[in-house]
Amino acid sequence: MATLRIATWNINSVRLRRPLLAELVAALDPDVLCLQETKCPDELFPLEEIRAQGFPHIAHRGMKGYNGVAVLSRIPFEIRHDDPNWCSKGDCRHLGVALDVPGGPIELHDFYVPAGGDTPDREVNPKFAHKLDFVAEATAWTRSRGPARRSVLVGDLNIAPCEHDVWSHKQMFGVVSHTPVEVEALTGWQAAGEWHDALRHFVPSDQKLYTWWSYRAKDWEASDRGRRLDHVWVSGDLAGTLSRHQVLKPARNWPQASDHVPVMVELAL
């Protein structure tokens, strides 16, 4: 294979938005698509419909009502079964696979980091504490494995680390997703694996870059108060293969849109 296209999307209910996957495939043509917030118990996952949309290889880890991740693939893979049970909660926020590609397997990790609630104070807000604990655990795990090699990490990390990953660095300073403690935690995680930020590889750090716009805006496009919550990281040895990227902003205007848009990165292997 000449290229490997990996996409990630917080689909916010795989059953409700499963028809939109055809739009995504038409626009991005991904070899592998990682989903978050599938909100679907495993026994109800729409396996056959998604296979029919061109993804014969599917892994899903879901639960009733909340969370849930899935990997949809044209390429065979093996599910990793020995990854941590994050914060001992068993709450379906991570799925790791080994993609069977020429040149040896590529590890792919699909993460859905806790959103963290409204108050950025771990003493009064257990959701914020969970978010920080989750990232701390992931960082320790990453560090224990050494610098990432032939690996890609994607997902809704629910943190916008850079100044221009939010519409206003000043006004977002105290808002969960862009507080200094979260930014420090995320950049520490990234550093622990020597990961490369694939989207910022393509988009200069002085340019705005968003993947999420709130449902609560009267006109999301006019106000454009977005955040970059969705990420693609690649290991150092793959950074030189980064050949293309796409943030599918038009998806925010699809009927019954998710509040996140799909993001795609292409590797020239």
Partner DNA sequence: ATGGTGGGGAACCCA
Binding site for DNA (CB under 7 A): 12-13, 15-16, 39, 41, 64-66, 114-115, 117, 127, 158, 215-216, 256
For DNA, the closer of residues 81 and 218 by Cβ is 218
Question: In angstroms, what is the minimal distance from the CB of 256 to DNA?
Answer: 5
Q: Are 264 and 194 in contact (CB under 8 A)?
A: no
Q: Are 20 and 250 in contact (CB under 8 A)?
A: no
Tokens 């996957």, residue located: 21
For DNA, the closer of residues 123 and 206 by Cβ is 123
For DNA, the closer of residues 30 and 116 by Cβ is 116
Distances in Å between the Cα of 177 and the Cα atoms of 10, 158, 159, 199, 219 are 16, 6, 4, 18, 21
For DNA, the closer of residues 32 and 229 by Cβ is 229
For DNA, the closer of residues 101 and 113 by Cβ is 113
Tokens 């519409």, residue located: 167
Backbone phi, then psi, for 72, in 5-degree steps? -110, 130
Distances in Å between the Cα of 184 and the Cα atoms of 82, 180, 188 are 27, 6, 6
CB atoms within 10 A of CB 103: 8
Supply angle C-alpha 51, 55, 57, rounded to 5. Answer: 95
